Amino acid sequence: MPVDENEILVRAHGLRKRYGDFEAVRGVDFEIRRGEAFGFLGANGAGKSTTMRMIGCVSEPSDGALDLFGLDPHTDGPAIRARLGVVPQDNTLDNMLTVFENLTVYAGYFGIKRRTAARRAAELLEFVQLTARSRDKVDDLSGGMQRRLAIARSLINEPDLALLDEPTTGLDPQARHLLWERLFQLKQRGVSIVLTTHYMDEAEQLCDRLVIMDEGRIIASGSPRELIDTHVTKEVVELRYGGLHTTDLADIARTLDGIGSQVEALPDRILVYTDDGDDTTAALEARDVSPTSVLARRATLEDVFLRLTGRALGEDDG
């Protein structure tokens, strides 16, 4: 099959998912192209995982149109799933099996012949650096290793599209970096990736294109750079006041009118959006607001999220 860079693998239009009275996904549109890494960024409860389950053909949309590889999930679920590699949020590894068996048995679910399965399993364990643990039971692995095993398992059928639901949530920084490195290599191999995350650094590092979700809706989309350019200023100055509380910070923020292009008070700091960090820092000093610390930095996706939702990414909204 010739690789067409613009081939669209997933097309969603007006996608909705209702659970009783609660609507988890409220009409989203997106397109995922071959070869790209596409991200769903949002806080917990934003509808990311539900959207992923619908793409994975294990959850039926309540409304809207969804199309994967030109097939309809409603009638061609097994055929679509045969071309997907899924890493669910909770791994769902088989803890009655060894590391190696987790891969070969899973290959069986795809109807892959035993010999092919064993060869691919050995290669994939090498890829995720678990060869030395291949005879161990899953429960004996650390969280990061289990995650890597889940990723290896998702690649056993050589998928056209890999779906990773919060691949690094709950991992320590070292395990996260190892995982990022593997995902980056996966991208270089030409595997199309869809991932959800609530870490903006993860989204910035891995995603070519992403959508920001909030309360079941897509509130912005584009490349990380485009999103930052469109929604926030180039730089942000952070003011921290040790010991002061939300209302105090709001009072101080009000006195900063006219500095930068916008001032925002958060529970723990004040953000001043500006196109020139140095200028703004100088202007702040002139105002004599005496913060404990001042930090001028590049704007990030987190600032985009904050501007769009009024909340920090770390805050849960149920």
Q: Is residue 127 a contact point for another protein (CB under 8 A)?
A: no
CB 133, min distance to another protein, A = 17
Phi-psi category of 295—alpha, beta or left, where left has phi over 0 and alpha has psi -120 to 50?
beta
In angstroms, what CA-CA distances link 107 with 104, 113, 115, 155, 158? 5, 8, 10, 10, 10
Q: Is residue 101 a contact point for another protein (CB under 8 A)?
A: yes
Q: Is residue 157 a contact point for another protein (CB under 8 A)?
A: yes
Q: Is residue 122 a contact point for another protein (CB under 8 A)?
A: no
In angstroms, what CA-CA distances link 83 with 77, 99, 223? 10, 23, 26
Cβ-contact 193, 187 below 8 angstroms: yes
Diameter over CA atoms, the chain: 73
In angstroms, what CA-CA distances link 175 with 86, 125, 127, 182, 235? 20, 16, 15, 11, 30
SS3 label, residue 184 = helix
Q: Is residue 30 a contact point for another protein (CB under 8 A)?
A: no
Q: Is residue 79 a contact point for another protein (CB under 8 A)?
A: yes
CB 239, min distance to another protein, A = 45
Residue spans of beta strands (DSSP E) within 135-251: 161-165, 192-197, 209-214, 217-222, 235-240
Q: Is residue 118 a contact point for another protein (CB under 8 A)?
A: no
CB 318, min distance to another protein, A = 18
Cβ-contact 221, 209 below 8 angstroms: yes
Phi and psi (nearest 5°) for 215? Answer: 45, 45
CB 204, min distance to another protein, A = 28
Q: Is residue 84 a contact point for another protein (CB under 8 A)?
A: yes
CB of 56 or CB of 144, closer to another protein:
56
Candidate residues 48, 81, 133, 176; the one interacting with another protein per rule CB under 8 A: 81
**Binding residues for another protein, total number by CB under 8 A:** 29
CB of 153 or CB of 187, closer to another protein:
153
The residue with tokens 């289990």 is 146
Q: Which stretch binds another protein (CB under 8 A): 61-69, 91-99, 188-196, 216-224?
A: 91-99
Site for another protein in 55-74 (CB under 8 A): 56, 58-60
Candidate residues 14, 70, 108, 170; the one interacting with another protein per rule CB under 8 A: 108
Tell me the residue type at 108.
Answer: G
Q: Return residues touching another protein (CB under 8 A).
A: 19, 56, 58-60, 77-79, 81-82, 84, 86, 88, 90, 92-97, 101, 104-106, 108-111, 157
